[in-house]
């Protein structure tokens, strides 16, 4: 199994996580920062990462309201997915509900004793880990 990339897309940041080469454990890679709305820069970074790491599967967080309705930011995520596929049609991109992923990530970071400033710095990266872990849990249940 090859590595899987997990993404938490914001308006100025992209939290990035990936699995180990066995596709079992997720860990944070980085919080990639870009100018507000410059999703092209973020997409290019993702494509470079996929090529460098030999990644063909991406798990992208999809913001969905508790009611089940898709949030307005979800349109940006879907467009991001479509544009990634235009750059590399061989990618498999799976959309995963990212509800409460940032809250869950912050709770995980709080127990480490990190300061608020440090948590804020890496929260998007950790949210990407949470999104990727959710996907891996679903995969494990299908085996």
| pLDDT 10s digits, 92-135 | 999 998 888 888 898 889 899 888 899 899 999 999 999 999 99
Domains, in order of start, for the chain: 4-142 (3.30.420.140)
Give the model's confidence band at 136: pLDDT under 50 very low, under 70 low, under 90 confident, else very high.
very high
Average pLDDT over residues 3-19: 95
Alpha-carbon gap, residue 50 to 70, rounded angstroms: 27
The whole-model pTM stands at: 0.90
Of 83, 31, 80, 88, the closest CA to residue 57 belongs to: 88
pLDDT at 133: 94
| Mean of the per-residue pLDDT values of the chain | 91
Q: Which residue has the higher pLDDT, 31 or 139?
A: 31
Beta-bridge partners for 79 = none
pLDDT at 143: 43
- H-helix or E-strand spanning residue 58: strand 57-62
């Amino acid at each position: 199994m090859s590595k899987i990339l997990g993404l938490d897309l914001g308006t100025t940041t992209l939290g990035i996580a990936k699995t180990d080469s066995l596709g079992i454990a997720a860990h944070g890679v980085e919080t990639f920062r870009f100018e507000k709305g410059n999703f092209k820069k973020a997409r290019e970074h993702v494509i470079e990462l996929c090529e460098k790491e030999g990644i063909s599967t991406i798990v992208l967080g999809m913001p969905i309201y508790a009611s089940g309705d898709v949030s307005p930011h979800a349109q940006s995520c879907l467009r991001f997915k479509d544009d990634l596929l235009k750059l590399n049609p061989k990618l498999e991109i799976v959309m995963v509900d990212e509800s409460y992923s940032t809250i869950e990530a912050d709770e995980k970071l709080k127990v480490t004793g990190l300061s608020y400033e440090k948590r804020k710095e890496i929260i998007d990266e950790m949210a990407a880990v949470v999104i990727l872990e959710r996907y891996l849990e679903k995969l494990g249940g299908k085996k």
